[in-house]
Amino acid sequence: MSADLVLPHAEWMPRARAHRDRIESLIEPYSTARRQGRKHPVIDFLFTYYSARPGQVTRWHPGYGAGLAQGQRYDGLRGYHVDRDGTARVTRDHLSSRRSLLTATVAMARATAGRAPRFGCFGLHEWAMVYRTDETRHEVPLRLGSAGTDAVVRAHPIRCTHFDAFRFFTDDAVPLNATPLTRAAAIDNEQPGCLHANMDLYRYALRLTPLVPGELLADCFELALHARELDMRASPYDLAEYGYRPVPIETPDGRAQYVREQAALARRGAELREALVTTCDELLTAADLE
């Protein structure tokens, strides 16, 4: 993270364009739905729940320690300073202001990575959110109807370990979870097999923008998108209209498919969690030196 590194315009602009094109390609169904004035029940989540705008994700950043020649387009963005010669870089003050967030991110990531992944939840948290209620969280029908959905919940143990999923359970579903979860104890229960724990790598990278490189943010976003897709394909909702084939976790074959796909996402999540911790450690070292 040399403060003397300045990327020439001809070097960083192609990276910025590639980053934008990559994200825009991933969210094309969401963008199309927005243009038509509709919500997208799968991809909306990555912006609404994580309080992000598409422009925040499509904009590339070099990360702390790298300057951008002819970087006037970054003038006015949070964390940046543009020199008189047009070189843009993230400031030391911004790095210092994010120290506590960096420390908390490392703590959560290491606690999560230190546990064995669990693959027996089958995505039942989404089913528990509509258990014994006529209200749904999305404007799409339930594949099995309300009675069929409730029957699936009653027939399978619920083993959710992620508080931010558990907190949306219906009142009748809360006592069915194997472990009582609280916000304060989240760090004690997070585990690397959980789809939402892996989606949250995107949350961490987003919060640490522009300190982290855009490529890491894009990798975390893509993982979050694929995890969200599995999350909703295994949910009780009928998403055929949006081109998603269900993972029918009410059947043995569906549960086996869910575990296979969940395990693949967890392997990618482990790689990105390690990369995020390494980046945060480097940033904390840089903050200590300045």
Whole-number Cα distances in Å, 150 to 146, 188, 245: 6, 29, 21
pLDDT at 289: 83
pLDDT at 54: 96
Which residues of the chain are modeled with pLDDT < 50?
Answer: none
Query: In which element (H, E) is residue 268 found?
Result: helix 252-289
The DSSP-derived string for 128-196 is HTTTT-S--SSSS-BTTHHHHHHHHHHHS-B----HHHHTTS-TTTGGGBSS---STTHHHH--TT-HH
pLDDT in tens, 248-290: 999 999 999 999 999 999 999 999 999 999 999 999 999 998 6
Neighbours of 44 (CB within 10 A): 17
pLDDT in tens, 49-84: 999 999 999 999 999 999 999 999 999 999 999 999
The rounded distance, in Å, linking the Cα atoms of 144 and 111 is 37
Domain boundaries in the chain?
5-289
pLDDT at 1: 53
